[in-house]
A and B are shown apart, each in its own frame.
Chain A
Amino acid sequence: QLQLQESGPGLVKPSETLSLTCTVSGDSFTRTDYYWGWVRQPPGKGLEWLGSIHYSGITYDNPSLKSRVTIFLDRSKKEFFLKLSSVTVADTAVYYCATGLQDAFAIWGQGTMVTVSS
């Protein structure tokens, strides 16, 4: 059964780069119809899609984040990664990794809270 688990620092300083890892368990990492994405949710607020990557390595990200997002994957480790540069307090949120077909996220990780503070 496919499961996702986020990991990474819970505290990041302003202007630094936030780095998270999503570890995939199960056999679906090689599915060519799946996309692997990142979604975040600031405390008390709604969901925001950050970006997604296909197994082929093709990525696309939210234009509103002005190219601060980098997503890449390591097929051998069955992991994919998020880097968000130049963070501010506005980037404080629960960060989820998720996967599914191109148009919807069917499987989600449990989420990891990241606080941006000096």
Chain B
Amino acid sequence: QSALTQPASLSGSPGQSITISCTATGSDIMIYNLISWYQQHPGKAPKVIISGVTQRPSGVSARFSGSKSGNTASLTISGLQAEDEADYYCSSYAGSRGHVFGPGTSVTVL
């Protein structure tokens, strides 16, 4: 079964950088290189912060950056701020299989 795996939680101090990984297992669900990242604060709808592996939508802070190597995509948050404390989900668009979400990573700012 195709799936995406993410670390359950990560933490960092203000000003530090953290990287969240998203690894595809079981199939070629990253074959289209259409990886997105979503940020979700408690009680709020998700917000796309990266699409197409590296593209940042208008209005999203440049502190967020995306990359991909092989079957692993990554989201880096630079200069961590208190407002970055949230859940982060990766997603891969896999053609006829649609959108596959990772399990999410809870980021804590110490």
**Chain A interface (Cβ within 8 Å of chain B)?**
37, 39, 46-49, 51-52, 60-63, 96, 98, 100-106, 108-111
Contact = CB atoms under 8 A, between A and B. Distances in A.
Contacts of A37: 99
Given A102-B93, A103-B36, A61 B98 contact: yes
Interface string B90-101: 010100111111
Nearest to B94: A103
Contacts of B103: 46
Q: Closest 10 CB pairs between A and B?
A: A103-B34, A103-B93, A49-B99, A104-B51, A108-B45, A104-B36, A47-B101, A46-B104, A46-B103, A104-B48
Contacts of A51: 98
Interface of B: 32, 34, 36, 38, 40, 45-48, 51-52, 57, 89, 91, 93, 96-104
A105 B48 contact: yes
Nearest to B53: A103
Contacts of A102: 34, 93
29 contacts: A46-B89, A46-B101, A46-B102, A47-B40, A47-B89, A47-B91, A47-B101, A49-B91, A49-B98, A49-B100, A49-B101, A60-B98, A96-B46, A102-B93, A103-B34, A103-B93, A104-B34, A104-B36, A104-B48, A104-B52, A105-B36, A105-B46, A105-B48, A105-B99, A106-B48, A106-B51, A106-B57, A108-B46, A110-B45
Contacts of B32: 103
Given A104-B93, A105-B48, A106-B57, A47 B38 contact: yes
